[in-house]
Amino acid sequence: MSNTKQDPIFADGFILKRNENAPEWVIGSLSIKVDEAIAFLKSNEKKGWVNIEMKTGKSGKPYCQLDTWEPNKDAAKKKTVVEAPPQTEDAPF
């Protein structure tokens, strides 16, 4: 994935609800519309997984969004291994 900002992909079939009267340890409830959720999951899975972020919009309402983050493969390839210098028999200690 490039560093350009892309439009959010909302998780079809997933509705996150927050009850303001619930205790603080209750994050919220998730309602899943099965047909929409299955179609969304099948169309967005990678290696058998779909990552969904739970966020709060500017309006204060919670929502679910597809997490599209992927590690930068080029950066991983550029990692180099630093080898220790060879030891000599003439070490001063």
Q: Which domain holds residue 54?
A: 14-70
pLDDT of residue 1: 47
Checking if the pLDDT of 67 tops 60, the result is yes
**The total number of structural domains that make up the chain:** 1
Residue 65 in domain: yes
Q: Tell me which DSSP letter residue 83 carries.
A: P
* Contacts made by residues 30-33, CB under 8 angstroms, sequence distance 24+: 30/64
Residue 60 in domain: yes
Residue 58 in domain: yes
Residue 48 in domain: yes
Residue 88 in domain: no
Residue 49 in domain: yes
Residue 52 in domain: yes
The b-or-e profile of 59-71 (16+ CB within 10 A means b, else e) is: eeebbbbbeeeee
Query: Confidence class of residue 37 from pLDDT cuts 50, 70 and 90?
Result: very high
Mean pLDDT (the chain, rounded)? 86
**Max Cα-Cα span within the chain:** 75
